[in-house]
Amino acid sequence: MREEPFYSLVSQYHLVGPADRVVPADRMRRAFTLSAMPWRRLTRLFRKSAGAPAGTAAVNTPAGAMLDALSDWICGIDAAGRITYANAALTRDHSAGPQNARGALTGTLFIDLMPAAAGETVRLALQRAATTGELQTCQHETLVAGGGSWRQWTFQRMPENMPAEFAGTRLLAIGRDITEQKRLEHQFLHAQRVGSIGMLASGIAHDLNNVLAPITMSADLLKLRGCSKEDRALLDVMATSATRGASLVSQMLSFTRGLDGSREVVDLGSLVKELSRFIGRTFAKNIQVRMEIAPELRRLYANPTQIYQVLLNLCVNARDAMPHGGVLTITASNATLDEAAARALPGGVPGTYTVLGVTDTGTGIAREIVDRIFDPFFTTKPIGEGTGLGLSTVRSIMKACGGCIALSTQVGRGTTFQAYFPVMEMAPMTPAVTPGVENSRGAGEHVLVADDEVFFRDVTRRLLTDFGYVVHIAADGAEAVRVFEQHRADITVALVDLDMPVMDGPTAIKAMKAINPQVHIITVSGSGDSAARPKVEDSELQLKKPYTMGALLQSLRQVLAKPAAA
């Protein structure tokens, strides 16, 4: 193995570099740190050149001082598994006596220094290293005087030609602190899990939206066919619940995949009331929820899902701070920050804000960890009960929208978070006008509906038939192409789902365009993730499930009003 340029071993364990200059201790540490196989070098430090006086102990040599300068735990182990030598780091962290006591661990069974859970693994590694002579490693979590950490032990059998004073040392053991490496591994695995959850959520969203779409359109269609006032009220509940379900699907995707979403006018007071009702149904009964919403609360132009996420994360954090119950207060108010007030807030900028506050009467936050609570993956909860991403997500959202978040806490009294959302200038909003469905009736146009969901096809067929269209049905992309080819002269619009078996939507659309370039295309997707939906150049409009009857009818009239493609 290639040596470091400055590294060599001479008599009496003196370390020298070029021109026989003594190597400083910091360079020695660097040599061990950079070495890919430090145990080989350490094994050589246990050797004594022929010129050294007999009986010289390793700890009294310059090499012993070098070993003591290292942060790794280093020791020699005899055939009985007892420690023959321990460097200063190992002695300091495991000895009950003075930290600089020489030989405090000599004669101690090495296995006794290991946690019970790792005992068998370490014992097997020791046996294999002693019998095979091959390098052996193992890892374990340990708790010592310096705190908890992860260690990786490397065991190597000592050479046969060791001097007499080391004749009893059979193995060299090196324990390296890999706590930071383990932390990074944990973060990487957590990121992978979040990514997997995002993929799962996208699939669930697709299936749920396919379920909700026929419910929404069926409710609209039944209202038009005539029903009593009581039945109409029930249909309204059905449609509203389906719409709410679609919103929850969208929120789920935003939480798991970090979707930006579109901005719109947000009534923070209404959002607080909605979440308060949700909290009242799901949080423990010993938590009392209070609301304080200022009159004439300014509206925001923002992503409502992200605001909902901020509020929900803060409320969950407050709930966890009150394991034995308490009062959770949610406030919404207006605020104007001048230069002085803005400087008092981390990331604050003078301006007009709408402030969302969440206050609990829980345990409070200790002073020594206040500066870390917004760090990704930092959590004080037991393993498996917290991701450490809630507050870091809140801060990221606030930063992205140009706002800031303030914190005040007192141990034993509770905590208050205040999220400052900037109020942006908005152009006057023109109320959306929903045209009457009677203006959306067809005139015998032929429409191809291609979707693999049987209930969606059936409801769409009934709806369009009632509104004067001739409907052709296909259950997959290949069937859609066959039906379209049979009725190429009649079909003027194709309503195509993008995700179908046998042949997907984009491929089917290309085939239909090749048959008749003048056909109008409306694409449909049940995926809530816009990034997951393929872009189809030939699509004139795209509908996202679940959509209303009015949205479908208006989309058809819109594309039919266009001139046919050349």
Q: Is residue 15 part of a domain?
A: yes
Based on the domain organization, do 390 and 506 belong to the same domain?
no
Length of the chain: 566
Is residue 107 in a domain? yes
Q: Residues 479, 342: one domain?
A: no
Rounded-to-integer distance, Cα 75 and Cα 102, Å: 13
Helices and strands (DSSP H and E) totals, the chain = 15, 17
Q: What digits encode the pLDDT tens for the residues 265-291?
A: 888 888 888 888 878 778 888 999 999
CA distance 174 to 155: 7
- The reported pLDDT for the residue numbered 316 is 87
Domain of 340, CATH number, reads: 3.30.565.10
Could you tell me which residues come within 8 angstroms of residue 438 by beta carbon, excluding any fewer than 6 positions away? none
Rounded CA-CA distance 276/340 in Å is 33
Report which secondary-structure segment, H or E, holds 304: helix 304-320
Are residues 445 and 401 part of one domain? no
| pLDDT more than 70, % of the chain | 73
Residues 447, 421, single domain; the answer is: no
Q: For residues 561 and 329, what is the distance between their CA atoms, to the nearest angstrom?
A: 53
- 382 pLDDT band (50/70/90 cuts)? low
DSSP structure string for 469-507: -EEEEESSHHHHHHHHHHTTTTEEEEEEESS-SSS-HHH
Based on the domain organization, do 459 and 393 belong to the same domain? no
User: CA–CA separation, 479 vs 487, rounded Å?
Assistant: 12
Q: For 364-372, which contacts have Cβ atoms below 8 Å and span 24 or more sequence positions?
A: 364/321, 364/409, 364/410, 364/411, 364/412, 364/413, 364/414, 364/415, 365/407, 365/409, 365/411, 365/415, 366/411, 367/411, 370/407, 370/409
Tell me what the pLDDT averaged over the chain comes to.
76
Whether 305 is covered by a domain: the verdict is yes
- Whether the per-residue pLDDT at 168 is higher than 70: the answer is yes
Domain-embedded: residue 147: yes
Q: For 483-509, write each residue's pLDDT tens digit.
A: 999 999 999 999 999 888 889 888 999
Examine residue 112 and state whether it is found in any structural domain, yes or no: yes
C-alpha 15/C-alpha 236 separation (Å) is 86
pLDDT in tens, 195-207: 676 677 677 777 7
Does any domain span residue 321? Answer: yes
Considering the domain architecture, whether residues 537 and 480 belong to the same structural domain is answered as yes
253 touches 532 (CB < 8 A)? no
Domain boundary among 382, 410, 429: 429
Q: Are residues 480 and 555 in the same domain?
A: yes
12 within 8 A of 63, measured Cβ to Cβ: no
Per-residue pLDDT at 17 exceeds 80: no
Which of 146, 177, 208 marks a domain boundary? 177
Number of domains, the chain: 3
Which residue, chain included where needed, has tokens 């991403």? 389
Q: How far apart are CA 523 and CA 505, in angstroms?
A: 8
CATH number for position 40: 3.30.450.20
CA dist list (Å): 149 to 19, 94, 144, 173, 540: 41, 13, 8, 17, 59
What stretches of 158-302 adopt beta strand conformation (E)? 171-177, 264-266, 287-293, 300-302
CA distances from 241 to 86, 212, 213, 235, 290 (A): 69, 9, 12, 10, 26
Q: Across residues 142-152, what is the average pLDDT? A: 70
DSSP secondary structure letter of residue 122: H
Whether the bond into 18 is cis, omega within 30 of 0: no
Grade residue 20 by pLDDT with cuts at 50, 70 and 90: very low
Report pTM.
0.48
Q: Are residues 407 and 483 in the same domain?
A: no
Whether residue 133 is found in the same domain as residue 30:
yes
Last residue of a domain, one of 401, 429, 457: 429
* pLDDT tens string 443-478: 889 999 999 888 888 888 888 888 889 999 999 999
Instruction: Show the domain range for 377.
Output: 264-429
Q: What does each C-alpha distance from 26 to 47, 64, 73 come to in angstroms?
A: 22, 15, 17
Residue 36: inside a domain: yes
Same domain for 52 and 126, yes or no, is yes
Residue identified by tokens 């990121």 is: 191
Q: Quick one: CA dihedral 447, 453, 456, 462, positive or negative?
A: positive
Q: How many CB atoms lie within 10 A of CB 283?
A: 18
Return d(Cα 117, Cα 441) in angstroms, integer: 74
Torsion angles phi and psi, residue 459, rounded to 5 = -65, -40
> Residue 427: what pLDDT?
44
Helix (H) or strand (E) holding 233: helix 229-257
Contacts of 446 (CB under 8 A, 6+ apart): 469, 470, 471, 472, 487, 490, 491, 492, 493
241 part of a folded domain: no
DSSP designation for 535: P
How far is it, in rounded angstroms, from Cα 514 to Cα 393? Answer: 47
Whether the predicted pLDDT of 512 surpasses 50: yes
- Residue 316, classed as helix, strand or coil, is helix
Q: Which pLDDT does position 415 carry in this prediction?
A: 92
Give pLDDT tens digits for 475-485: 999 999 999 99
| Single-letter code of the amino acid located at 203 | G
The Cα–Cα gap between 222 and 237 comes to: 13
Is pLDDT of 228 > 70?
A: yes
Angle at 372 between CA 369 and CA 376, to 5 degrees: 140
Give the confidence band of 19 by pLDDT, cuts at 50, 70, 90. very low
CATH number reported for the structural domain that contains residue 479 in this entry? 3.40.50.2300
Instruction: Please write the tens of the pLDDT for every residue from 317-362.
Output: 889 889 888 999 999 999 998 888 888 888 788 889 999 999 999 9
pLDDT of 35 > 80? The answer is no
Same domain, 287 and 341: yes
- Assess whether 67 and 163 both reside in one domain: yes
Q: Looking at 104-108, 229-233, 292-296, which range is the least confident one?
A: 229-233
